Amino acid sequence: MSSDADVDPSEYEGLEDADVTMRVNDHGLHIADDEATGVSSQGQTPAEALENLAEAVETYREATSDESDDDWL
């Protein structure tokens, strides 16, 4: 993870082995990017951005998994 923040993405379920980049935008929001999936999220604090990213990555993985057996798509 590249960041000057004092947070560790490995503490969040689903981000244990993730390559996460943290940045702050022009409005002061903390942005967390998961390099492997391309998923990004934001928060008022680095911890909030990582918490939101963990949830977004989980949703992404559920949506892209091929375990649904839905043949109608």
Q: Which residues of 41-68 are buried (b: 16+ CB within 10 A; e: fewer)?
A: bbbeebbbbbbbbbebbeeeeeeeeeee
Q: Give domain limits for the chain.
A: 9-60
pLDDT value, residue 70: 60
pTM of model > 0.95: no
| CA–CA dist 20, 43 (Å, integer) | 14
At residue 21, φ and ψ (nearest 5 deg) are -110, 135
List pLDDT tens digits, range 15-66.
988 999 999 999 999 999 999 999 999 999 999 999 999 999 999 999 988 7
SS (H, E, C) 3-24: CCCCCCHHHCCCCCCCCEEEEE
The DSSP letter of residue 45 is S
Q: What does CATH list as the number for 9-60?
A: 3.30.160
